[in-house]
Amino acid sequence: MISRFPIFFLLLFCSAVFPWLILIFKSEKQLLTLSPATLEQEEYLYERNTGKSFDSPDDYAAYISETGGDAAKALKVADTAVPEWEAKNNTRAKARQPLLKLKRNVDGEPAYPHYKGGAAANGKAIYQAQGCFHCHTQQVRQKDFGFDIARGWGQRRSVARDYIYDSPVLIGRHRIGPDLANIGTRLDPNDLHRHIYRPPHGSNMPAYPYLYKVQKIRGGSSKHAIAFKKDEYGAPEEGYEVVPKPAANDLVKYLTGLRQDYELPEARFYPKDEPHHGDDHSDDSHVEDEGPKVDPKILSKGKKLYNTAGACVTCHQPNGQGLAAAHFPPLAGSEWVTGSEEVLTRVVLNGIAGPIKVAGKDYGLVPMVPTIWVGWSDDDIAAVLTYIRNEWGNEAALVTPETVGRIRSEVGTRGPWTDAELEPYK
Ligand code: HEC
Ligand code: HEC
């Protein structure tokens, strides 16, 4: 009975001291040879704490010095540790490579996409968790596959190499919203925050207010607060400010890193402002084939407006086919579009609700209520109408700004039309 106690204490002693003994005897090299996963964790904390980015070996060296380490030694260790680690555990370690040895192509440009580690890696997880990929793609299609380039979504097509460090690849399948492959070149962090916190009025994109904190301004306003324009949609009440939570900051870090703004050997930039020649069949090519009936300037203006984020393209799609599943009817081959300009102009100015037939199919579960184009000028509306009447195989006479102006002053502001109400104008 009595002899059990010393054994118990001996066991207790060993379990408390043993881990320390391991640490004491572990070699310095082993301690420095951090696994890439640990490096990633460190990098994440560093980015969060300092707000600096961590994209190159120099950043890494700076980080080591700042945290009291020997930068040269750490770089050397990392240089050998990572390939070793990589050899053993293939996937995640690969992502470390560009950080430690940025590869360059012949022109000295990075030959691989920027590694999105640290905060951006966490932001990617948030992009996934919030389901952004349900509505956004990250792939710029080549010129003869739609008009991504014409829309300004990229300067070149996306290629396999762009996704080399992505696992999983968030290329997306549906384009309810614009492509985000180059969103980092289009919107700055403040604009991104504003968009995610509260998308523009009339947008189909959900708001993500829970990624932000609305707080009373005490003393001075926070330097992290989102800058809104005066009276902007979504701006907080007087005396309050909107501050991104860490998750929102990480998400924006990820988005600003989405940029394919360098050339790759297999994907060079398309020449700028090249007139649309035969290589772009889905575009205005029919205008060229048959000789311009309508001033191409009006068509390109209309096309730009049509494709504005939140405008017609959101529902009727880039190819004018609509989205049957969402009850958005097609504009391509629609008699509403190519028929009476009196009807078409009214539909677009005020909207349309209730059952209608478009190209032989029934629609009507969702009304069309004008949003951002309410503020467009007569010139703008006329350009969009002329564009949809002469795109995707449609052919009809142009609509003049004068016609739009006359109809606008007749109808004033009113709710959406019904099919029956439009009968007299057909
Ligand atoms: C239900 C579909 C949907 C979801 C989910 C969605 N979006 Fe959007 N998004 C849109 C639509 C539609 C637009 C275009 C209208 C607008 O500007 O809001 C858009 C626009 C954007 C824009 C502006 C693009 C530009 O070119 O100006 C950004 C940035 C964006 N979304 C990011 C996100 C992020 C980040 C998430 C996830 C947190 C997300 N979206 C989730 C539909 C969606
Ligand atoms: C938020 C989604 C949405 C947006 C944005 C939108 N529409 Fe529509 N549109 C609809 C829906 C839904 C209908 C069908 C309404 C019904 O069934 O009564 C429709 C119907 C139409 C029709 C008549 C039917 C047809 O398919 O020809 C035209 C023409 C039209 N829209 C043009 C436009 C133009 C031009 C714009 C941009 C200025 C635009 N729409 C923006 C959703 C939208």
pLDDT for residue 418 is more than 70: yes
Q: How far is CA 166 from the centre of its chain?
A: 15
How many CB atoms are located within 10 Å of the residue 358 CB?
18
Q: What is the pLDDT of residue 380?
A: 96
Rounded distance between C-alpha atoms, residue 404 and residue 302, angstroms: 14
Tens digits of residue pLDDT in 21-78: 554 544 433 433 444 455 555 566 666 666 666 555 566 667 667 666 666 666 665 5
Q: How many residues are listed for the chain in this entry?
A: 426
- What are the structure tokens assigned to 238, written together? 């007087």
355: closest CA among 424, 425, 426, 421?
421
Percent of the chain at pLDDT above 70?
Answer: 70
Tokens 């690849």 label which residue? Answer: 169
Q: Is the CB of 256 under 6 A from ligand 1?
A: no
pLDDT for residue 114 is more than 80: no
Side-chain-side CA neighbours of residue 147 (13 Å): 22
CB 180 within 8 A of CB 137: yes
Residue 306, C-beta contacts closer than 8 angstroms, at least 6 positions apart: 312, 313, 384, 387, 388
Q: Which of 128, 133, 136 is the pocket-test mutation for ligand 1 (most atoms within 8 Å of CB)?
A: 136
Among 148-162, 243-257, 299-313, 344-358, name the one with the lowest average pLDDT.
Answer: 148-162
Find the 369 Cα to ligand 2 centroid distance in Å: 8
Find the 138 Cα to ligand 1 centroid distance in Å: 12
Residues with CB under 6 A from ligand 2: 311-312, 314-316, 327-331, 334, 336-337, 344, 347-348, 352-354, 356, 358, 363-364, 366-368, 373, 384, 388
Ligand index nearest the alpha carbon of residue 137? 1
CB 410 within 8 A of CB 424: no
Q: Is the CB of 204 under 6 A from ligand 1?
A: yes
Rounded distance between C-alpha atoms, residue 412 and residue 320, angstroms: 28
Rounded distance between C-alpha atoms, residue 28 and residue 21, angstroms: 14
Among 199-203, 332-336, 384-388, name the one with the lowest average pLDDT.
Answer: 199-203
Higher pLDDT pick, 233 / 329: 329
Tens digits of residue pLDDT in 274-290: 444 434 444 433 333 33
CB 399 within 8 A of CB 382: yes
Tens digits of residue pLDDT in 199-230: 988 888 999 999 999 999 998 889 899 999 87
